[in-house]
Amino acid sequence: MDKRTIYGIVLIAAILILMPIWQKWVIGTVEQGQPQTGDSLAVVQQQQHELTPHPDTITTPPELTTREPLAEPAQNADTAITDSLISKIPIEEIEIHTDKFDVVLTTLGGDITSIRLADIYDFRGQRVELAPRLLEGPNCEFIITMGQKSLSSAGVRFHADRKSIAIDENNPRDAVTMVGVLPDGSMIQRRYEFEFDSYHIRHKIFVAGNDSTLLFDEAILWWKGGLVPTEKNIGWDIREIVVRYRFGDDIEKVKPSSKKPSTADDGSTDWAGLTSKYFTTILIPDKPFAASGVRTSVFWQRDTAFTKEIPVMQFGLYHRIRESKFSGSYLIYAGPRDHFIIKKYGRMLDKIVDLGWSWLSPISKLLLGMFRFMNKVIPNYGWMIIIFTILMKVLLLPIATKQLKSMKKMRTVQPQIRSLQERYREDPKKLQAETMKLYKKHGVSPLSGCLPLLVQMPVFFALYRALSGGFQFRGQPFIFWIKDLSQQDPYFVLPILMGITMFVQQKISISDPKQKAMMYIMPVIFMFFFYKLPAGLVLYWTIFNILSVMHMLWVEHTWTDLPIEPEIIPVKAEVEEKK
């Protein structure tokens, strides 16, 4: 236990011991049950509840915002003196600078008012803010209940032991401790600890009731700051604004909904977090599954900077207490939604990064790891995707060669197939059996053309999840007009080039006149399908098409099949068939 923690505990103990003496000396004896704070705090608390309603609690269906308000203190000279003394406590901001972010705390509510990431910018060129306070209320609010009364940290004026902190290699750890008094006279301490080279803040809360015979029922630590879109494609970002939390080995999620603006889910909860496309804020209790449930709420806001309504999602970790005091310790992770960074925390936190279905996720992780390793040698992710595509083509070369040989054989046996179709046009079962016999005799597989596509489809989907969900691809340029491989091609050059290469590929491979319509339709369909996908994914598909065309031309010029002699059907057999 460091010196500042000891000082904080001593300070709280001193306040608890000296508070009754101070009250008697300054304002006289306070009647039992009468709140020991003035009207100003009650008004601030009431305004805070009006601004941010809370979802249901575990014990009763009514919302926290509809709980019975604290009893109004009598208007007399003594309470006026109390109001005057509390109002003189200054509201101050504490600035913390680390290598990962700049944080601003305030003594009003002991709250976090800003978390601005270092050297990470949004599409407007501004540093990414992970505590935007979209509703102008608290970001990190603690609410504790006693019976039908709720006590909030919002509006409480805290006393802080620090004015500012600079975290660096010479000062790798430091903390701010704030002490205040809740509206009922209970003592509350909020402590924020910071570390060098970390995207997390350790937040410790301690509450001691002013009467040991009265018990607190439940508590919620809320994160209400929300997240704003940081990417140019706002729609992609908004789709990823979701609250995720861990129940056992399951990761649950709550999407913003105007039909169900608040939710309450009870059960042993390990952690809860809010995500956007590339960033996340997570509340992680130090003890696994220490929370008793999750609460969420959503508001909708339209900002002049955005063309769409932004869902402001709030989430809180719920605790059952039934004690006269509360002590909680959490990690607040506020940073990139990066698989490799978050994975280090364990406890299945990497599941907050969506890398696809359960069978696809391992492939996505493998690709992310491979690209991360390649990035140490090749600094440009675009060239890495090209090299990866070449490797994939080489890996699939035996299958592709077999496919092309089968296609050439298919063209060779076409006259015999047409002969069989003419002969058995009135007997489909016989036609199918004879056709399959012909394929088997000449080693032809009608499905061989689909095999390379089927083999690479898992890689294609995994690459899509890696490009769209991998933070390492965010803002990575390639060449010329492609400034971000994780976003769509702004001028649609790659989708058009992909369509052209696909047309050439179809032109070379299709010989059946009945299938020539597909040669024109498929490239157009794929162009419209691909034009909104990440540029890195379209780059992969385009390069693969180009390599496939080159391979097809090489096979056409270097490999020839032996001519297949037409089958001679005995006349006697034909006569018997006619009979």
Whether the CB-CB separation of 357 and 459 falls below 8 Å is answered with no
Whole-Å CA distances, 514 to 472, 510, 511: 46, 9, 9
Whole-Å CA distances, 187 to 106, 152, 390: 18, 12, 65
The domain in which residue 403 lies consists of 363-558
- pLDDT band of residue 412 (cuts 50, 70, 90) is confident
Which residue type sits at 265? D
Same domain, 379 and 283: no
Residue 570 has pLDDT above 60, yes or no: no
Same domain, 483 and 407: yes
Domain boundary among 329, 354, 379: 354
* Residue at 576 is within a domain: no
Residue 449 has pLDDT above 90, yes or no: no
CA nearest to 153, candidates 133, 181, 131, 177: 181
Same domain, 320 and 380: no
* 3-class secondary-structure state, position 531: coil
- The pLDDT assigned to 517 comes to 75
d(CA 335, CA 12): 32
- The pLDDT assigned to 421 comes to 81
Higher pLDDT, 306 or 389: 389
Domain boundary among 354, 383, 416: 354
Whether the CB-CB separation of 199 and 206 falls below 8 Å is answered with no
Domain count, the chain: 2
- The pLDDT assigned to 318 comes to 97
Share of residues in the chain with pLDDT > 90 (%): 54
pLDDT digits (tens, 9 = 90+) for 255-280: 999 899 999 999 999 999 999 999 99
Report CA dihedral (416, 419, 421, 423) to the nearest 10 degrees: -140
Same domain, 113 and 211: yes
* 3-class secondary-structure state, position 254: strand
- The pLDDT assigned to 518 comes to 76
Higher pLDDT, 305 or 108: 108
Same domain, 137 and 170: yes
Residue 577 has pLDDT above 60, yes or no: no
Same domain, 518 and 497: yes
* Residue at 302 is within a domain: yes
Q: What's the DSSP call for residue 241?
A: -
* Residue at 115 is within a domain: yes
Mean pLDDT to the nearest integer, 502-526: 80
Residue 215 has pLDDT above 50, yes or no: yes
H-only helix segments in 172-302: 234-239
Mean pLDDT to the nearest integer, 154-161: 94
- The pLDDT assigned to 178 comes to 97
- The pLDDT assigned to 84 comes to 53
Whether the CB-CB separation of 87 and 42 falls below 8 Å is answered with no
* Residue at 452 is within a domain: yes
Q: What's the DSSP call for residue 514?
A: G
Same domain, 349 and 367: no
Which residue type sits at 215? L
pLDDT digits (tens, 9 = 90+) for 543-564: 999 999 998 888 877 765 545 5
d(CA 384, CA 378): 7
- The pLDDT assigned to 74 comes to 41
Q: Name the burial class of residue 500, with classes exposed (0-12), middle (13-18) and buried (19+) by CB atoms within 10 angstroms of its CB.
A: middle
- The pLDDT assigned to 57 comes to 29
Share of residues in the chain with pLDDT > 70 (%): 78
* Residue at 125 is within a domain: yes
Mean pLDDT to the nearest integer, 494-513: 85
Lowest mean pLDDT among 78-87, 90-99, 538-547: 78-87
Mean pLDDT to the nearest integer, 371-396: 93
Would you report the helix, strand and coil content of the chain in percent, each value rounded to 5?
40, 25, 35
Same domain, 160 and 196: yes
- The pLDDT assigned to 565 comes to 52
Lowest mean pLDDT among 95-109, 138-152, 454-468: 454-468
Neighbours of 106 (CB within 10 A): 20
Whole-Å CA distances, 147 to 67, 216, 406: 9, 8, 78
- The pLDDT assigned to 447 comes to 61
CA 172 to chain centre: 29
Same domain, 348 and 369: no
Tokens of 164: 């500012």
Residue 32 has pLDDT above 50, yes or no: no
- The pLDDT assigned to 563 comes to 53
Lowest mean pLDDT among 420-429, 474-483, 490-499: 420-429
- The pLDDT assigned to 405 comes to 74
Same domain, 253 and 139: yes
Residue 232 has pLDDT above 80, yes or no: yes
Neighbours of 61 (CB within 10 A): 8
pLDDT digits (tens, 9 = 90+) for 519-550: 788 889 989 889 889 999 999 999 999 999 99
d(CA 155, CA 382): 51
- pLDDT band of residue 70 (cuts 50, 70, 90) is very low
* Residue at 575 is within a domain: no
Give the predicted TM-score (pTM) of the model.
0.79
* Residue at 245 is within a domain: yes
d(CA 253, CA 267): 14
Residue 478 has pLDDT above 70, yes or no: yes
* 3-class secondary-structure state, position 453: helix
d(CA 84, CA 80): 6
Same domain, 115 and 231: yes
- pLDDT band of residue 25 (cuts 50, 70, 90) is very low
- The pLDDT assigned to 559 comes to 61
Whether the CB-CB separation of 135 and 224 falls below 8 Å is answered with yes
- The pLDDT assigned to 173 comes to 97
Same domain, 321 and 416: no
Tokens of 271: 């952690």
- The pLDDT assigned to 29 comes to 35
Instruction: Tell me the residue length of the chain.
Output: 579
* Residue at 253 is within a domain: yes
Residue 325 has pLDDT above 50, yes or no: yes
d(CA 413, CA 407): 10
CATH number where 44 lies: 2.70.98.90
Whether the CB-CB separation of 32 and 294 falls below 8 Å is answered with no
d(CA 164, CA 92): 11
Mean pLDDT to the nearest integer, 113-133: 95
- Please compute Rg for the chain using Cα positions: 33
| Paired residues of 311 in beta bridges | 300
Q: Name the burial class of residue 269, with classes exposed (0-12), middle (13-18) and buried (19+) by CB atoms within 10 angstroms of its CB.
A: buried
Domain boundary among 354, 385, 403: 354
- pLDDT band of residue 340 (cuts 50, 70, 90) is very high
CA nearest to 229, candidates 298, 305, 335: 305
